[in-house]
Structure 1
Amino acid sequence: MAEIKNHRIPVYAVLVTILFKLLFLLTHYIQEDAFITWRVAQNLLDYGVIGFNGAEKISASTTHLYVFVSYFFNLIFGKENFIEPLLIFNSILFTIGSLFLSNLLLKNIWHKALFIFLIGILPPAIKISILGMEYGILFFLEMMLLFYGFNKGKKWALIILPPLILFTRIDTIIFLGVVFIVDILWNKKIRWSYIFGGIFGVGAVLAFNWFYFGEVINNTIAAKKLAYDKSFTLEQNLKYFIQNFGNFWGMLKLPGNFNPLTVILLIFEWLCFTYLIRQKQKRNFFLWIIFIFGWVKQLVFLSQKSLFDWYYWVPQILLFVPVLLFVLEQKEKRNLWLFLLLLFYIIPMLAFQTVHSIATGNGEWNYRRTIGLFLNSYEKDKDQWIFLEPAGYVPYFSGLKTIDEVGLVDEKVQDEIKKDKKNFWINTVKKRRPKYLLSYNDLFTSENAEFIKLHYKLVKEFRVKDHLKSSNKILEKIYILKPSGSDYNLYERID
């Protein structure tokens, strides 16, 4: 009986970790892009179409599976009440995924419990759980594939899970490919069920895109590649790498171009990984998978100049796994190692993420959301259009039809970029005549000021500094310490 109870300890760790992380829901820190996915889900609910603006089909979200999950949560809980249940669901799935990972890498139940909790409170794990993105589902599915498909040898997992993973994000082909290569090199055999699952998954996603949207690759990928396309010299590439180095491999963003903590962490991760794989254990198979994947994923996205930090959350966590294993399995002075890890890394990271979540939640939920709420009450005709960037909070809470400057939610913008990238913005305004413009800039002093003054009036200025106050003095100090958001000007068409 005692042994059975002991086996439940990692499960208890899952529950404790989930409850602990739910405190971060109070910060209202939700990623902008989550609201794009949720609006697509609600568009499916209202119009029966996967789109963003009424009956027009468009793959405005990078994730098909999460759109359907969000659709069902909207259906069950209603548009006003689905967000918190969905964020809790994401947190549960991620933490169960960490349970699968602990079972692959550890034997001692107390080590598993500590592993689950410490992984769960790392900054990227907190963001995966409560920012509303699809990575909670993705981490769960990927770890489930490793546990049931490659540890337990379940054929159903090898066939069913790859399509689900690919429908969550198409770029997971990197993860599936790394697993395939390591498996062949390690086991010297081909798992035909896995090959079938992978081929079926790729075929199903591409077929769905083609027959439903009339495209092979998601619109979001095409739009970002077009909008953010840059030709850099070798010197510019090196400068770009140095500027963004800490964002890719570190777990925190510090001001400045170089983060020495990132270098120390990188070296320590490599040392721990090297130490562990020299032990010749069965789990090395999974260590090779997660470590190679972590590096390949980050290098691929770095090479494509992908700045969005959510691309790096899962790799950041997996690359840190060897550090935790190394510390937890020390036979001598384990408590000292654990104390030092907590004191110099885990607790500072948790403190940083807490401050970051509170400040950014204020800038997003208490500030940017108010712009959408203002427009919702100001403009009752929801068939009117707004032209802005980005297409998250403001379109979601305003309910207005939306043109975004990247073309994620409106493909016609991409046509204008292809024709004349330099002048696509003003050309779009002239051609589409949106009723509202929301801009970071003062358009009355821009190069297009003459046209804007003739056809638009300034309705309201939204300023970050107006949202840095709180009755709670600690919160106010955090808001002032790390102000989050951008200043906006809202213009309305007058003719």
Structure 2
Amino acid sequence: MSETRISRFPIYAVVITVLFKLLFLLTHYIQEDAFITWRVAQNLLDYGVIGFNGDTKISASTTHFYVFVSYFFNLIFGKEHFIEPLLIFNSILFTIGTLFLSNLVLKNPWHKAIFIFLLGILPPGIKISILGMEYGILFFLEMALLYYGFHQQKKLAFIVLPILILFTRIDTVIFLGIVFLVDLFWNKKIRWNYVLGGVLGVLTTVAFNWFYFGELVNNTIVAKKLLYDHSFTFQQNLNYFIISFGNFWGMLKLPGNFNIITIVVLIFEIVCFIYLIRQRDKRNYFLWMIFIFGWAKQIIFLSQKSLFDWYYWVPQLLLFVPVLIFVLEQKEKRNWWISSLAVFYILPMLAFQTIHSIATGNGEWNYRRTIGLFLNTYEKDKNQWILLEPAGYVPYFSGLKTIDEVGLVDKQIQEEAIKDKKHYWINTVEKRKPKYLLSYNNLFKGEDAEYYQIHYKLLKEFRVKDHLKSNNKILEKIYILKPSGTDYNLYERVRD
């Protein structure tokens, strides 16, 4: 086989990996928050305003850059057909990002090809690609910075890419900061063009927030900080960590407080990293960058009680990189190592993610989306309001104006929380009189039951158990094995 053809193996791996992962589109597993970003993009299309409810400006999405990307996909493909092309685009960008990463840490084209495929089919690699969040673009930009900036020494990359990275997510200042510190320690000098790019990135993002929204940071950050309780004792912090750590380091959500798989994987990651950096290879420069960032991001977000698992997708993958390199570069029993990794980890992870995607896709697309579609048909006046949580599927598919409990898409509820956090929900209902309420709870029981009984009627009950059936018996068994979703009660206002 010619050397030229062998050198193209990583490119072939990118194509094969993308095509393989497109099968997951059939599961319809799309993250709730993606629909918030997409509604913001469509609001920009309809009203010319970055917002959520008509012409009211609000940074309801965590990502500005992805909003504009989603806007253009809506513009090109239309509101009814943009989702699949955008998910494919995300998957392609993420996989190209793994190609950049393989070029930084490996030399053998065969190793690069296997690396790209194995990294891409791990649960975080699948979720980054298919769930509709901004992390496919973000991973591509971050790896492009390392490759074109710190490897190829392209000055333009140091200026442009930090701006795009920060405009995608403001918390990427962690990534940019870790890369700067490792580069400074490694080369014993400040790379001023990179500093300029970082400064311009921060100024661009903050200036955009200030001049467009009148705020320094995204509303989503302010809302979550206000509504989520962070007052924990030391014992509560410890218990929280024990319960949560397996979700973040282990790539795998298992029931229970102790996850031995996570412990083993975590230790093996550290051992492989130490083994690799002792070889004094030039790639250690990049291994230090990605490994320190992975740990820093996890620790910072865990310390802030950041529950959402998508914060940890990129760190999970980067921390696993030393394991893949270690296995691929074994000179003795290499096939045994690769086979063992595939049989005992990669394939079980892939199987788990497949079941998880099918079950969660059913709970989100076939169940939660149904609520939005019901309201879309039932309520023709799209200027009516609904109060609910979360603000993804139901607002997107119903088209109704929305107040969410956390205040991601509506600032007025934040004002009520500041005044009276304990009673902000009922106070919002009494003052703003939304036509619809969607609640996990039975509102006709409890402290404010009398008010709800007078002013609202129970319109419809939505139950997860009603969506666990399928003509395909295998799918039905998966739905029952891992039921996904939350029971809801939908109320309609009957009098003022």
- Is it true that 1:223 corresponds to 2:223 in the alignment? yes
Partner of 2:462: 462
In structure 2, distance between residues paired with 1:409 and 1:279: 51
In structure 1, distance between residues paired with 2:439 and 2:211: 36
Q: Provide, for residues 257-302 of structure 1, a one-character-per-residue CA deviation record: whole Å limited to 9, x for no partner.
A: 1111100001000000000000000000000000000000000000
Partner of 1:303: 303
Q: Provide, for residues 208-257 of structure 1, a one-character-per-residue CA deviation record: whole Å limited to 9, x for no partner.
A: 00000000010000000111132111111111110101012111100011
Query: Deviating runs (4+, > 2 A) in structure 1?
Result: none
Task: Give 1:418-457 correspondences, 5 Å limit.
Answer: 418-457=418-457
In structure 2, distance between residues paired with 1:176 and 1:229: 29
Q: SS in structure 1 opposite 2:216?
A: coil
Displacement of 1:440: 0.5
Q: SS in structure 2 opposite 1:133?
A: coil
- Is it true that 1:204 corresponds to 2:204 in the alignment? yes
In structure 2, distance between residues paired with 1:44 and 1:397: 17
In structure 1, distance between residues paired with 2:400 and 2:482: 31
Q: SS in structure 1 opposite 2:444?
A: helix
Q: Provide, for residues 462-493 of structure 1, a one-character-per-residue CA deviation record: whole Å limited to 9, x for no partner.
A: 00000000000000000000000000000000
In structure 1, distance between residues paired with 2:311 and 2:128: 11
In structure 1, distance between residues paired with 2:189 and 2:96: 30
Partner of 1:151: 151
- Is it true that 1:100 corresponds to 2:100 in the alignment? yes
- For 2:44, give the aligned amino acid: L
In structure 2, distance between residues paired with 1:201 and 1:446: 49
Partner of 1:109: 109
Q: SS in structure 2 opposite 1:459?
A: strand
Partner of 1:337: 337
- Aligned partners of 2:40 and 2:50 also within 8 Å: yes
Q: SS in structure 1 opposite 2:380?
A: coil
Task: Give 1:99-248 correspondences, 5 Å limit.
Answer: 99-248=99-248
Partner of 2:79: 79
- For 1:246, give the aligned amino acid: G
- For 1:214, give the aligned amino acid: G
Q: Which runs of 5+ in 1 are unaligned?
A: none
Partner of 1:408: 408
Displacement of 1:4: 1.8
In structure 1, distance between residues paired with 2:22 and 2:59: 31
In structure 1, distance between residues paired with 2:412 and 2:163: 31
How many residues are matched? 495
- Is it true that 1:353 corresponds to 2:356 in the alignment? no
Q: SS in structure 2 opposite 1:231?
A: coil
Displacement of 1:131: 0.2
Q: Provide, for residues 98-120 of structure 1, a one-character-per-residue CA deviation record: whole Å limited to 9, x for no partner.
A: 00000000000000000000000
Q: Provide, for residues 2-30 of structure 1, a one-character-per-residue CA deviation record: whole Å limited to 9, x for no partner.
A: 22222111000000000000000000000
In structure 2, distance between residues paired with 1:258 and 1:375: 41
- Is it true that 1:262 corresponds to 2:265 in the alignment? no
- Is it true that 1:13 corresponds to 2:7 in the alignment? no
- Aligned partners of 2:104 and 2:283 also within 8 Å: yes
In structure 2, distance between residues paired with 1:100 and 1:230: 38
- Aligned partners of 2:391 and 2:402 also within 8 Å: yes
- Aligned partners of 2:230 and 2:304 also within 8 Å: no
Partner of 2:366: 366
- For 2:67, give the aligned amino acid: V
- Aligned partners of 2:391 and 2:404 also within 8 Å: yes
Partner of 1:36: 36
- For 2:370, give the aligned amino acid: T
In structure 1, distance between residues paired with 2:8 and 2:233: 56
In structure 2, distance between residues paired with 1:2 and 1:334: 23
In structure 2, distance between residues paired with 1:74 and 1:229: 37
In structure 2, distance between residues paired with 1:229 and 1:360: 27
- Aligned partners of 2:100 and 2:147 also within 8 Å: yes
- Is it true that 1:387 corresponds to 2:387 in the alignment? yes
- For 2:313, give the aligned amino acid: W
In structure 2, distance between residues paired with 1:340 and 1:153: 38
Q: Which runs of 5+ in 2 are unaligned?
A: none
Q: Provide, for residues 110-133 of structure 1, a one-character-per-residue CA deviation record: whole Å limited to 9, x for no partner.
A: 000000000000000000000000
In structure 1, distance between residues paired with 2:417 and 2:253: 31
TM-score normalised per structure 1? 1.00
Partner of 2:481: 481
In structure 1, distance between residues paired with 2:113 and 2:148: 20
Q: SS in structure 2 opposite 1:183?
A: helix
- Aligned partners of 2:435 and 2:492 also within 8 Å: yes
Displacement of 1:319: 0.1
In structure 2, distance between residues paired with 1:190 and 1:234: 39
- For 1:289, give the aligned amino acid: M
In structure 2, distance between residues paired with 1:214 and 1:147: 36
Structure 1 vs Structure 2 CA RMSD: 0.6
- For 1:381, give the aligned amino acid: D
TM-score normalised per structure 2? 0.99
In structure 1, distance between residues paired with 2:175 and 2:422: 37
- For 2:182, give the aligned amino acid: V
Displacement of 1:190: 1.3
Q: Provide, for residues 310-343 of structure 1, a one-character-per-residue CA deviation record: whole Å limited to 9, x for no partner.
A: 0000000000000000000000000001111011
Q: SS in structure 2 opposite 1:443?
A: coil
